[in-house]
């Protein structure tokens, strides 16, 4: 096999030589020079960042100060047009998570400054004003916001289960990016195909299905898939300012209860039940102790799935294919295998690389497990230390600041 590979490699290398002489034309033929076209200038990257900052500020102002859903829709339309259809969904903050991860864990990759800013600026905005990025700037959010015509409420239990998917998605996406295996989020971005008007047909179908579902169950991608939404969720919980359902004092009129399609309005506790709740407060200590147990448990589980996860990496897959051919005699026929035989690389080199990548997966996977365990554990713990509410207020983590609830509140302030 090695010899065969060597010969093929030879034939490739010597293919570069001039087999047929360069013709000598008599009719005054001039050799055409191929004109290669260049990309757009680097100035545009800064333009993108400037537009991001401006739209974030505009959204915050529109939601927190003006309290105008109408204005928010205009901003969404602009973001969809600019970041979506004009910039074709690239660069986006959702995908920048992977650039970040790759840059942090790989010495030879340096993150472009614009990608770094696209990762950080929306998070700073979340710390200041809540999820304003989701509300009006993210093109993926905007396309769903603008197509969510009806509101069908999802049962709370289903919502909770589905809402845990993004955590897993984020964990895996960071792991795959950190090991240089795959940019999962970009690969399975449902709407980028619609923005670019070209994509594998499976992704077009997936994107269209999500949009159709989104007409009734609003923002399905944001709620049940978006990995960047997890970070936004966490950061927004600690935001300095956040959108409120009511512009002044809440009258507990219950009119906004059905106003939120995402079930992100936390209900006020009726005065009668406030005392009872205080008395029957569950013991929170066991749940606090459960957090490290869950983290450790998930770490063990993920550590054991690391070999399976490493199959996502192309080099690992190739090495497995070659090994299968060597040991079991199953012919390696994939394009990667054919190219490998032609490239003149030795099998030992390949297997060495496979070992390295597998080791990185074993190192990284437990951390993903710890993250998932912590998320689940803290989520459970939070249920036991629930604050007694006297007002209707948005759940800062899950609220997209979409301003849909404003019209349900009868309290108005006149300018």
Partner 1 sequence: MEDQKNKSGSRREFVKTAGRLFLAAPVIALPVILSKKRDAKGFVWQIDPYKCTSCELCRTACVMTPSAVKCTNAFPMCGYCDFCPGFLRQGAKTYNTAAENQLCPTGAIVRKFVEEPYFEYTIEESLCDGCSKCVKACGDFGNGSLYLQIMHNLCVDCNYCAIARACPSDAVIRVPAGEPYMRKELKS
112 is an interface residue for partner 1 by CB under 8 A: yes
Please state the closest distance from residue 196 (CB atom) to partner 1, in A: 7
Q: Which of 19, 156, 331, 414 binds partner 1 (CB under 8 A)?
A: 19
- For CA atoms 327, 333, 334, 336, give the dihedral sign: positive
Please state the closest distance from residue 333 (CB atom) to partner 1, in A: 12
How many residues sit close enough to partner 1 to count as binding (CB under 8 A)? 73
Q: Do residues 185 and 94 make contact, with C-beta atoms less than 8 angstroms apart?
A: yes
- Strand 393-394 relative to strand 265-266, pairing: antiparallel
Q: Closer to partner 1 at the Cβ: 19 or 331?
A: 19
Q: Show the site string, 262-301: x = touches partner 1 by CB under 8 A, - = not.
A: ----------------------------------------
377 is an interface residue for partner 1 by CB under 8 A: no
Q: Show the site string, 315-344: x = touches partner 1 by CB under 8 A, - = not.
A: ---x----------------xxxxxx-xx-
Q: Which of 71, 259, 314, 379 binds partner 1 (CB under 8 A)?
A: 314
How far apart, in whole angstroms, are the C-alpha atoms of residue 49 and residue 45? 7
Going from the C-alpha of 243 to that of each of 36, 104, 163, 393, 401, the distances in angstroms are 50, 33, 22, 9, 6
Cα Rg of the chain, angstroms: 27
Q: Closer to partner 1 at the Cβ: 135 or 192?
A: 192
Please state the closest distance from residue 204 (CB atom) to partner 1, in A: 10
100 is an interface residue for partner 1 by CB under 8 A: yes
Contacts (CB under 8 A) with partner 1, residues 155-214? 177, 180-183, 186-187, 196, 198-200
Q: For partner 1, which stretch binds (CB under 8 A), given 15-23, 77-85, 151-159, 165-173?
A: 15-23
How far apart, in whole angstroms, are the C-alpha atoms of residue 206 and residue 169? 17
Contacts (CB under 8 A) with partner 1, residues 40-99? 42, 88, 90, 98-99
Q: Show the site string, 215-244: x = touches partner 1 by CB under 8 A, - = not.
A: -------------------xx-xx-x----
């Amino acid at each position: 096999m090695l010899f065969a590979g060597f010969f093929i490699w030879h034939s490739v290398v010597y293919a570069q030589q001039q087999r047929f002489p360069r013709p000598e034309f008599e009719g005054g033929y001039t050799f055409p020079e191929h004109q290669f076209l260049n990309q757009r200038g680097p100035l545009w990257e800064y333009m993108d960042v400037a537009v991001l900052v401006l739209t974030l500020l505009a959204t915050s102002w529109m939601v927190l100060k003006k309290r105008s859903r109408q204005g928010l829709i205009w901003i969404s339309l602009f973001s969809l047009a600019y970041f979506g259809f004009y910039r074709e969904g690239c660069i986006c903050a959702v995908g920048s998570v992977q650039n970040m991860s790759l840059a942090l864990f790989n010495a030879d990759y340096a993150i472009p400054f614009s990608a770094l800013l696209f990762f950080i600026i929306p998070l700073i905005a979340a710390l200041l004003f809540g999820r304003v990025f989701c509300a009006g700037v993210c093109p993926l959010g905007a396309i769903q916001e603008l197509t969510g015509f009806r509101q069908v409420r999802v049962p709370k239990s289903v919502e909770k289960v589905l809402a845990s998917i993004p955590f897993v998605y984020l964990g895996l996406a960071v792991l795959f990016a950190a090991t240089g295996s795959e940019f999962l989020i970009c690969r399975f971005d449902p709407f980028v195909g619609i923005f670019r008007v070209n994509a594998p047909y499976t992704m077009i179908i997936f994107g269209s299905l999500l949009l159709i579902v989104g007409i009734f169950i609003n923002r399905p991608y944001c709620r049940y898939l978006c990995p960047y939404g997890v970070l936004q969720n966490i950061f927004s919980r600690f935001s300095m300012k956040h959108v409120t359902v009511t512009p002044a004092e809440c009258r507990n009129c219950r009119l906004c209860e059905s106003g939120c399609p995402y079930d992100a309005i936390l209900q006020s506790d009726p005065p009668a039940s406030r005392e009872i709740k205080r008395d029957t407060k569950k013991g929170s200590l066991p749940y606090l102790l459960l957090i490290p147990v869950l983290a450790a448990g998930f770490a063990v589980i993920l550590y054991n799935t690391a070999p399976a996860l490493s199959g996502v990496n192309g080099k690992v897959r190739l090495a497995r294919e070659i090994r299968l051919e060597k040991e079991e005699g199953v012919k390696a026929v994939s394009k990667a295998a054919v190219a490998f035989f032609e490239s003149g690389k030795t099998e030992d080199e390949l297997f060495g690389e496979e070992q390295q990548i597998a080791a990185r997966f074993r190192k990284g996977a437990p951390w993903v497990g710890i993250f998932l365990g912590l998320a689940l554990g803290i989520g459970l713990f939070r249920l036991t230390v629930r604050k007694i509410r006297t007002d209707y207020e948005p759940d800062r983590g899950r609220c997209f600041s979409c301003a849909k609830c404003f019209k349900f509140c009868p309290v108005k302030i006149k300018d």
